[in-house]
Structures are given as structure tokens and as C-alpha cells.
Amino acid sequence: MSSSHVLTKYDYFEKRGLLAPKPKFPFGNCKGAYTGKQNIIYDLNDIYQQFRKKTSFVGYFEAKTPKILVISPDVAKDVMIKYFKNFHDNEIASLFDKEADPLLARNPFVLKGEEWKEKRAEVTPAFTSTRLRSLFPLVEEVLERFKNYVHKEIPKNEPFDIREISAKFTTDVVSSCIFNADAHSFTKEKPEIREMGRKLLDFTSSGAQFKFLILTMFPWIRKFHKISFVPKAVHEFFINLMEQAVTMREKSNIKRDDYLSYLIELKKKKNLADIDMAAHGVTFFTDGFETSSLAIAYMLYEIANDKRVQEKLRKQINEELIDENGKIIYEKMLEHEYLDQIFHETLRLHPIIMFFNRECTEEITFDCNGKDFKIEKGMSVNVPIYSIHRDPDYYVNPTEFVPERFDAENGGVKEFRNRGVLMPFGDGSRICLGMRFALMQSKAAVIEIVRNFELSVNDKTQKPLKIGATEIFNVKSGGLWLDMKAIK
């Protein structure tokens, strides 16, 4: 964000004829987030609700920085697809420095311009259908450990922190697929890979929150001081883990069509530096670890909360998705209509990334209520996925969990995605790289749990669910707690 934007007075939008809620010094329109009273998505949702029937986008302020909040799905699609060259980069890129955060700053989600294009092209082939299929036996091994862990814990008569055990599952899966390592998530109290993965993405600590606050209120500081969000020890751990994995794989001569083998081939082909290898490994790790574990947790929560859905899904799993040897039928799992509806309805209600942010990289003029509004280079544009997903103009009874809303007679999932009102993974060229991997491991986990256990929501779960005030991802305060009972 240029200094001219940062120092703008609060009459920025008024002078340009764009609707905007009245900001208040020093927090602008995001007092709840800056004072720690509520997650920023609730501040943005308040603005969305105020203007959703009045305009296609509005202005607002985060502290003293003017930004755009998209209201119309058509404008959202324009920003993420049609005019991608004008909104090429994610604003978050400006927060990370390659010297201070060498791994996260090399993630395609963070990278800008041609560098983003180059690095995304390097990792995209790793997510082909063929490679995903070849990884499924590794997922099945972890599924068995997942099931056995739940069986072992049930006699303790304690509720399950479903987010935590889902994270155990995804940590073991991605550690196996990427680092050829057993993370021991189901056998050790605090397995090292799990703990380091947690620290890698821990932006909720008081220290990280303070850094975010400082950088958003005084972005010019970045020019004079490099701020790190990830501890040096975490960087070193993942760099060493990747080096050890490559060395062991090359010495063993084991042929395994996983992500590690792809990265080794890529290193030879492009002569990648060790830091770039480790960064790609961490990219795969973060894509498959945190977001997928939350998706699994929310799916199991909603299934536990609705006995009708649970019984219907379990019946279809047993009749359609399990072979005579008790194994999941991979192809049928991926294309199964009801399971897919549950997955997308879950992420409609609980999008893991609650808004997508684009920085204007090339000045463009949009029509807004019959008037031209110039979006200047450097201006940030936010697409509030959370609010769009819960808009009653697009969904009947939007706060209710109804997988059948995506029935074929309503156009299925595809119809809602085409309209720009269902975007759990984003859209356009920057759509989530790990989307298909997330679908695969999330669906497999849900099948394994639902066919083996009866689920119910424990009273320890705080209702109504509320997103934690300092969370970057969609994480609910107090956790998601379920009771499980083995099906004999």
C-alpha cells in the first residue's frame, strides 16, 4: 500500500462518490478486530449487511487505510477472474520478507507477479489426478491409525476435540506424502512435526497479533525493519527435515510416487536450491495440514449435529463406497454426490479462509451504481466469502446445514460456483493449489469415521459457534467437541 493511501484522511471515499460506512479514528471501520473484541470477519460482515442491497461494492477503512469491500458476486468474479491482471497479487505478500521468513515468503500464496507464476507452475504438476490416486494407499494407512486411535480413546469417556484429532490425521498424511516420515501424531503426546507445524502457522499469539497490528496501522515500517512471523527454529526444522528426507530417499532407491519424489525430480530438472526445496515442501504441508484438518472437523461436527444427515450418509457409505474387502472405493468416493454435497455445504457455512484479498496491480475503473469509480494501483480489495455464503438472496435459510440444497435439480455445486456465490477455495488463477488433495483426504477421513462410529455433539461445545477474535483461519472459540460410540 503506497504512503499516499495510508495517510489519506477519512474523506477518501466521500470525495470520490463511493458509498462507505462512517469510519472512526483510530480504527476506521474495524474497531472490533483492532480492540480484540471480535474477529475482523464480523466487522466486514456488518458492512456487508449494511450495504448488500444497495451497491456492488463499498469503501471502508482498516485503521487509516482505505480498502474496497465487494458486495456483488459478479464483481467478485471480475476481480478474481475477468480482470485478474489488474488484481494479480494477494495483499498479504507485503507482510512477509524472504530474509525474515524464508519459507512462508516463498509460498505461491504470498508471491507476486512473475515469481508467483513461476513457482506456481513448478508445483502445479504435483497435484495431478494420477499422482493423487497413487497417494491414496498412504492415506489408507493413516486412516487405520485414525480409527484405532478413536477406538482406544472411547473407553476413557471423554469428549473428542475433533479439530485436534483431525489435525493428527492430516499431519500424519502430509508428513508421509511430503517428508517420507511418520509424524507419530496418534502415538506421541506432542509429536515434533505436529508442534512445528502448529508454530509455523501460529498467527494468533500475542506477539504475532502485535506485529500484524503494527504493520497494518504503520505499513511504512516494512521499509526500515524486517519483521519475522515464524521462529528461526521452525524454519531450521523444516529445512533439515527436507534435507534428511531427500538424502534417505536417494540412498534407499525406493520408488514411491509421492510429493517427495516429485520434488526430487524438480530439483534435478531446475537445479533448485535447498531453501526452495524446503519452501515447496512447506507449501504442500500447509496446504494439506491446517486447512484440511479444519474442513474435516467441521464436516464431522455438522454430521454429528444432524442425525438425519448422519444416518443417510452412513447408509450410502456402506452400500456404495465400500468394497467386499472393507476398503474405500477411491473413484466412487471422489464422485459420490451426497458426500460432495456435505463437503461443500460444510465449507459454505464454515469457509476456512473467510475472505480473499487482492491488491490492485494495475489501475482500473469499475461501474458502481451508474458511476465510474477508479480503483488505484495499491488499493486492497476484499471479497467476503463468509458473508456471500450466508446471504439469503443466494441461499434459502442460509444459516442451516442442508446438503440437499446442492441437489442436481438445483444445478448442483457447479451452478452455485458458476454464479460466484460458492468459493471456499477462491476462484480464478489463484484458486487453492491443494483443493483436490483436500477433497480427497477430507472425504476419506469422514467416510472412515462415520462408518465406524456414531457421532453426537458434546455439551462442551460452545453454542452458538463463534470465530475466535484473533484467528486468521475459521477457528471457533472453545473448540468442537464430539462424543463417539463404536458401531458394532
- What is the DSSP track for 143-177? HHHHHHHHHHHGGG---EEHHHHHHHHHHHHHHHH
Position 191 confidence tier, pLDDT thresholds 50, 70, 90: confident
Burial of 47 (0-12, 13-18, 19+ CB in 10 A): buried
> Of all helices (H) and strands (E), which one includes residue 212?
helix 206-217
Q: By the 8 A CB rule, do 339 and 63 touch?
A: no
Give residue 100's identity as a one-letter amino acid code. A
447-487 confidence digits (pLDDT tens)? 999 999 999 999 999 999 999 998 989 999 999 999 999 99
Position 15 confidence tier, pLDDT thresholds 50, 70, 90: very high
Position 6 confidence tier, pLDDT thresholds 50, 70, 90: very low
Distances (CA, A) of 412 to 57, 311, 341, 400, 408: 27, 22, 8, 18, 4
pLDDT score of 222: 58
Instruction: Give me the phi and psi of 453, to 5 degrees please.
Output: -140, 145
Cα–Cα distance, 204 to 141 (Å, whole number): 32
Distances (CA, A) of 35 to 205, 401, 470: 15, 32, 10
Give Cα 325 to chain centroid, integer Å.
34
pLDDT score of 1: 43
Residue with cell 458476486: 73
Q: By the 8 A CB rule, do 28 and 460 touch?
A: no
pLDDT score of 144: 97
Q: By the 8 A CB rule, do 260 and 177 touch?
A: yes
- Which of 169, 137, 259 has the alpha carbon at shortest distance from 445? 169
Q: By the 8 A CB rule, do 138 and 176 touch?
A: yes
Cα–Cα distance, 465 to 478 (Å, whole number): 9
Averaged confidence pLDDT in the chain: 90
28-71 confidence digits (pLDDT tens)? 999 999 898 999 999 999 999 999 999 999 999 998 899 999 99
pLDDT at 236 over 50: yes
Q: By the 8 A CB rule, do 362 and 85 touch?
A: yes
Cα–Cα distance, 477 to 469 (Å, whole number): 8
Collapse the DSSP code of 228 into the 3-class scheme (helix H, G, I; strand E, B; otherwise coil) and give the result: coil
pLDDT score of 105: 86
Give residue 184's identity as a one-letter amino acid code. H
Cis peptide before 231 (omega within 30 of 0): no
Give residue 135's identity as a one-letter amino acid code. L
Q: Per mean pLDDT, which range of 239-248, 293-302, 345-354 is the poorest?
A: 239-248
Q: By the 8 A CB rule, do 318 and 451 touch?
A: yes
DSSP 80: I
Cα–Cα distance, 435 to 377 (Å, whole number): 30
pLDDT score of 4: 43
Q: By the 8 A CB rule, do 381 and 67 touch?
A: yes
Across 116-125, 194-203, 366-375, 384-393, which has the greatest mean pLDDT?
384-393
Position 5 confidence tier, pLDDT thresholds 50, 70, 90: very low
Residue with cell 500484524: 212
177 is in an annotated binding site: no
pLDDT score of 206: 45
pLDDT score of 155: 95
Cα–Cα distance, 356 to 284 (Å, whole number): 20
The pLDDT > 90 percentage for the chain reads 64
Which CATH superfamily groups domain 3-486?
Cytochrome P450 (1.10.630.10)
332-387 confidence digits (pLDDT tens)? 999 999 999 999 999 999 999 999 999 999 999 999 988 999 999 999 999 999 99
